[in-house]
Amino acid sequence: MSRRLTHLSFLVLALLLAPARMPARAQSNVDASLPPAWTAATSGAAAGRLQDEPDPSETPIYAENHLLVRFAPGTPDEVKRALHEEYGAQVIREIPALNIQVLLLPEDSVAMVSAYQAEEEVRYAEPDYLFTIQGWPSEQQPDLSAATTNGLDEIPNDPLYSQQWHHQTINSAGAWDISHGTGVTIAIIDTGADCNHPDLRDKCVRGYDHVNNDADPRDDQGHGTHVSGIAAAMTNNALGIAGTGWDAKIMPVKALNSRGSGNLSWIAAAVTWAVDNGADVINMSLGGRYTSRSLQDAIAYAIDHGVPVIAAAGNDNTSNPSYPAAYPGVIGIAATSQSDTKASFSNYGDYIDVAAPGVAILSSVMGGSYQAWNGTSMASPVVAGVAALLVAQGPCRSPAQIEQILEATSVDLGTRGWDRVFGAGRIDAAAALRYDLNPCGGSSPSPTPPSSGGPPASPTPRPSPTPLPTSPPVTGGASERVEVLINRERGALGLPPLGVLESLRRAAGKHSLDMAVMRQCTHAGSTGSDPASRMRAEGIRLPYGEIVACGQVSPEAAVEAWMNSPGHRAIILCSSCVTIGAGYQASGDGYRHYWTVNFANDPVSGPAPTSPPPPTATDVPPPTATNRPVAPTSPPPTSFPGSTDVELKPILGRAGWVVSTEPYANHFDSADMFTGVWNERAYHGAMQFDLSAIPADAHINFARLQMYGRSSGSLTRAGTWTVNMMDPDVDRGFEGHGYARIHGAGIESPLLPLLSADDIDEGRENLFNFTNPQLEGIRTRVASTALISFRMDGPTSGDFANLASWDTGQSDKATYPPPVLFINYSIGKPVPYPTATATPILPATPVPPDPGPTDPPATIPPTGTPPPAPATPLPSATVPPTPRPEDTQKVVELVPQPEDVGWVRSNDPKSYLGTRNTFTGYYMQQEYHGLVQFDLSQLPKNRVITHARLTLTGQSVQRLSSVGNGRWEAAILTSDVDAGWRYHGFKRIDDTRAVSRLEPALLQADLDVGRENLFVLGPDELRELSWRSLTTGKISFRLDGPRGGTSNVFDWDAGYGGNPPKLTVVMGPPTSDNPLPPAPPSDPERIERLLRAVNDARAQNGLRSLELSDRLTNAAEQHTWDMTAHRFFDHVGSDGSTPDQRVARSGFDALQVDQLIAGQNGEPETVVQTWMRSGEHREKLLDPLLTHFGAYYRYAPGTYFGHYWTLVMAQAR
């Protein structure tokens, strides 16, 4: 269950804006500058810059052209239809329980969110976000042939039960002595289930397929079948495995497709369908990075109907929250290993409730077999099965009580008490079932009688249960402790203590009680009261502010959470307030602990408290070493060992607002960043950060932007607000930009989430996490302008006043902290894992998860790892003898950096460099390439390369096909990929042309563990190697294997096994002059090819060809040399010149000028193709008014982009 805290401060604003509604209907405000659906892990193409374009095979953030709209209750159908007709929308599905319609739109959904949000009848509108599975096949596969039937009565007779290590860890047998989960149904919201599997055949009840909208939820991916078996496979049937839920039934609800991903609309519909069709427990082994109001409403629908929801915490080893696990009321599950330690992939953070085994979990797979998989997807159904056993104990097990029992009986791991890694601890099923918590009153329920063939009827006697830790009673002790702790924090920083006012205590206590009754964490009272009115009602004349927290189990936890949040900390450390009063209320439901602290400037007589009241056993729970934080946002991610954190604030004098009535002026010295509409004027907030503190070669791991609301008094309910990363061409001269320049700037990428009026409030934190395209945007700016600029967009029409404001933190009128851009970066990769000599079925220590190809299905008995074969080179007439240093020659043996070796696969947009593998081939319908890059800086420049060879050492044959077919090759890639090697994904690697393929090509018979494979560089390859040593200083190899057929993958050692790839180079005697390598295609030739490609693209679209202009060519040449000489990538020159000014200087008389630039790619045809795939670039290329053009290209080794292009186009006057 996610914890929350919030705060509010009362200060008089200098600008008072009175909201008033216009009588006319709000018009749609569709911002055409918003980009198409951005992908979750691809580089974005900004206006005037070229990088890898989004790949359709990569996972997008949301489904294009889909929108979820929730209407206000009672909205007539004819009103909905009229609204859809106005926007050209079509209803493709409905979620009746939530009053939500799913729409198909004629244009991108992000652009239409604002339009629908502005309508009075709409509660909210949001994109159809995508969610994915959270598990994959494990490398640790048990020997199924070794499974035997255990004849002991107290455990099930399933032959693979002994291979299911998680049952022994969580003490499933002890739980089954008490309950079998009879009569309970677990809804598995996943990819479906193979209900013909022998271990699932008699367990499935009626389900539904929300992907295809039919009643056949069969699995077409495999994930759901595996999850179903963990939760409730047939148990004690002398076949296969045992399910945690024993007799519990499985309701397969398909909401994820064959690729393991699913739309928000499918998943929200699946949750409500499951509740309405008899589910008693819901398991969601899926996750997404973006919060959704629709899914949160669906989760609330389940919990309100008494159905507990268990969800996987995610597999990114990060503190960034994963949804739905992070929603209030959901039981979020982390994963543990066989040694009761954190699974290396498992997420952590303030939303983790408990942990469960999630490494090498054996369960059912499609086709009637069994496999071990890894993931928090596997940990979640373990807990869901235990929840089913608890539900079967009696009708009064509420979701909150099930969570309470699981947390109270978990085995404490890690830091004492609750912690961010394991939550309350790793679950203990037997302890949970024996826990004496009977909410119905009377005696505890009797153990469920076993079914035929089950455990014996006489259960193991229960030990005397440990009472569940109760909430502190509603007395003064807990609230007084909060006051004391706050005064200690103030004293440590040299601030005077605050005096206690009983009237403030009364106001705080009443609000805590009110929150507990409402089960909400909010400043708004049930009667609509606000903090100031509540304090004044108690006689307070000068109220200052209020902070609240929900979910903390102790005063120490609440105060620590407040102090870790800048907004709350600012109120606690206020210099003007003099008095304090705290209140606390416990509850058996909701957040369970509700804290309120009020601050005022009213004086008090008598000394301030300086020592705590005597503690009691039940008053204040003992503090733990690490208390659970309650902030609504996750703490800064710290997943990368050896990484560096920087917190940047806007540049002084470059944060504020612009208004449409002042096209050439700004207010960048203001305390406000006004955004929205007021008095028929449009406002944009804007700010700029300095990135010079980040090294140019840094790898950006995480980034997020944090802002604090300053004013919400002029907001109406309608509207959407976004924060957008502007194109880098606005970075220079930012302090002089007015509304015209800021409003007209291109948007490289909008940050998520989109905000509604409900998300914006005075003092409220708004946090935006950066996706991979936006991280790439930071990287390019670090290497070019060293600046990054943001614009806030809001409604520009409709209500007379609909204006939000965030605090800049810069003016003397500022109330809250300034915006903070948090960036985590590293130089290089984390230290590699050591390679074990053997992997037992159940190792004593966890093996780091490998997201690559998995071991063969368990139906094929594993053959083990063959002994290493002698390192014998392949026979070849052209293989040179082993190089030996002599007086007349030099031998250099190059070994790649660990982070330059790894692999990519076709269903994953990112690369896996710095891993132990170089997977190459085809596995489970995915293509794999191994990757190796060498640094050539060690090669002397005054010697001629005479021989060279590449050596790879085999590491694993476990994934090779038993058929014995296939062909493996090593290829040198074009120099385009040398720069930015560590950021390339599968598409870039797979699309890159091979300069040459090395000899020999390998057959499967040539591959073995420990065997050296030698690839010889011929004359052409030697010339390429010489050229690279003098230009890019790098050479990049791609390993190619089978691309289809049966699964067939080979793995060479990346260096973790002691045999890294080697490039052995033999060089002749020194020469008096540096040898000249073969020249690449001439610059004029490349430029001519680019111009020809541009005119070909125009001709294909029925447009006239452009004429070559020497003057425009001169303007392009000047800018290309400027970018390479000064190492930046921007439309604005180092002298501040714009494209229009450079064209004017060239002497070309132009009515209009358009310029495109590109980097990282030296192939002109590819450059034009990429421009054509980007909407804004395409629009410029196909402008029918253009008449002339000119272009220039330059290769600059050692720079970030390597290749630099400038295309200048103009309309002659």
For 733, other C-beta atoms within 10 Å of its C-beta total 12
Catalytic residue (one of 261, 265, 377, 1109): 377
- Beta bridge partners, 281, equal 186
Residue 900 known to be catalytic: no
Give the residues across from 130 on adjacent strands. 263
Question: Under DSSP, is residue 207 helix (H, G, I), strand (E, B) or coil?
Answer: coil
Those residues whose C-beta lies under 8 Å from the C-beta of residue 1049, and which sit 6 or more positions away, are: 853, 919, 920, 921, 922, 923, 928, 959, 960, 1041
User: Exactly one of 7, 166, 223, 743 is catalytic; which is it?
Assistant: 223
Which two three-digit tokens encode residue 69?
A: 């709209």
Burial classification of residue 713, based on how many CB atoms lie within 10 Å of its CB (0-12 exposed, 13-18 middle, 19 or more buried) = middle
Do the Cβ atoms of 903 and 990 come closer than 8 Å?
A: no
Q: Can you name the residues that pair with 969 across neighbouring β-strands?
A: 1040
Catalytic residue flag (residue 377): yes
Phi then psi dihedrals of residue 118, to 5 deg: -75, -10
Quickly count: other Cβ atoms within 10 Å of residue 353's Cβ: 26
Structure tokens given for 42:
């691809």
d(CA 532, CA 983): 52
Cβ neighbours of 685 (radius 10 Å)? 30
Host H or E run for residue 1126: helix 1110-1126
Of 342, 387, 373, residue with least CA distance to 139? 373
Are the beta carbons of 1051 and 919 closer than 8 angstroms? yes
In angstroms, the Cα distances linking 333 to 266, 509, 618, 869 are 22, 33, 28, 44
Fill in the DSSP letter of residue 345: T
For residue 8, what are its two tokens?
């509010």
What H or E segment, with its residue span, contains residue 544?
A: strand 543-550
DSSP string covering 509-531: HHHHHHHHHHT---SS-TTS--H
Rounded Cα distance between 250 and 230, Å, is 11
Strands 249-254 and 185-190: parallel
Q: Provide the Cα torsion 376, 381, 383, 387; round to 10°.
A: 150
Task: Kindly write down the DSSP assignment for every residue of 679-735, as one continuous string.
Answer: TTEEEEEEEEEE-TTS-TT-EEEEEEEEEEEEEEEE--S--EEEEEEEPGGGTTTGG
Phi, psi of 1158 (to 5 degrees): -150, 155
| CB-count burial class (<10 Å; 0-12, 13-18, 19+) for 875 | exposed
Structure tokens that stand for 476 in this block: 């003064």
Residue type, 668: F
Instruction: Exactly one of 52, 128, 190, 1040 is catalytic; name it.
Output: 190
DSSP-assigned states of every residue in 359-413: SSEEEEETTTEEEEEESHHHHHHHHHHHHHHHHTT-TT--HHHHHHHHHHTSBP-
Nearest partner of 387 among 424, 456, 313, 333, judged by Cα: 333
CB 931 within 8 A of CB 902: yes
β-sheet bridge partners, residue 333:
312, 354
Rg, Å, the chain Cα set: 32
Sign of CA dihedral 742, 743, 747, 750: positive
Active site residue 52: no
- Residues labelled catalytic: 190, 223, 377
